[in-house]
Amino acid sequence: MADPLPFVDLQAQRRRLGDALNRAIAEAVESGQWILGPQVSALEASLAAFAGVKHAVACANGTDALLLILRAWNIGPGDAVFVPSFTFAATGEVVALAGATPVFVDVLADTFNMSAASLEEAITTIRRKGELKAKAVIPVDLFGQPADYRKLEPIVEREGLLMLCDAAQSFGAILDGRRTGSIGHAAATSFFPAKPLGCYGDGGACFTNDGGLADILRSLRMHGQGADRYEHPRIGMNSRLDTIQAAILSEKLKIFPDEIVQRERIARRYNARLASNRIRTPSVIEGAQSVWAQYTIQVDNKTKLQSDLKDAGIPTAVYYPIPLGRQAAYAGFPSAPTPNSDALSRSVVSLPMHPYLDEATQDRIIGAVLTSVG
Ligand SMILES: Cc1ncc(COP(=O)(O)O)c(C=O)c1O
pLDDT of residue 3: 84
For 138-236, list the strands marked E by DSSP. 162-166, 174-175, 178-179, 186-190, 204-208
Using the predicted structure, report yes or no on whether residue 239 has a pLDDT greater than 70.
Answer: yes
Q: Which residues pair with 79 in a beta bridge?
A: 133
Using the predicted structure, report yes or no on whether residue 294 has a pLDDT greater than 70.
Answer: yes
Per-residue pLDDT reduced to its tens digit, 29-69: 999 999 999 999 999 999 999 999 999 999 999 999 999 99
Per-residue pLDDT reduced to its tens digit, 151-163: 999 999 999 999 9
2 pLDDT tier (thresholds 50, 70, 90): confident
How many CB atoms are located within 10 Å of the residue 125 CB? 15
Residue 92 Cα to ligand 1 midpoint, Å, equals: 11
Which residue among 68, 69, 112, 169 has the greatest number of ligand 1 atoms within 8 angstroms of its CB, and so is best to mutate?
169
Using the predicted structure, report yes or no on whether residue 122 has a pLDDT greater than 80.
Answer: yes
pLDDT of residue 211: 98
Round to whole Å and give the CA distance between 357 and 363: 10
Using the predicted structure, report yes or no on whether residue 248 has a pLDDT greater than 70.
Answer: yes
In sequence order, which residues have a C-beta less than 8 Å from that of residue 180 and are 6 or more positions away? Answer: 51, 141, 146, 165, 167, 170, 171, 172, 173, 174, 187, 189
Amino acid making up residue 112 = F
Residue 374 Cα to ligand 1 midpoint, Å, equals: 35
Round to whole Å and give the CA distance between 254 and 245: 15
Round to whole Å and give the CA distance between 181 and 56: 9
263 pLDDT tier (thresholds 50, 70, 90): very high
pLDDT of residue 1: 62
Q: Is 143 in the pocket of ligand 1 (CB under 6 A)?
A: no
200 pLDDT tier (thresholds 50, 70, 90): very high
For residue 95, give the nearest of 81, 105, 78, 84 by alpha carbon: 81
DSSP 44-82: HHHHHHHHT-SEEEEES-HHHHHHHHHHHTT--TTEEEE
Q: Is 140 in the pocket of ligand 1 (CB under 6 A)?
A: yes
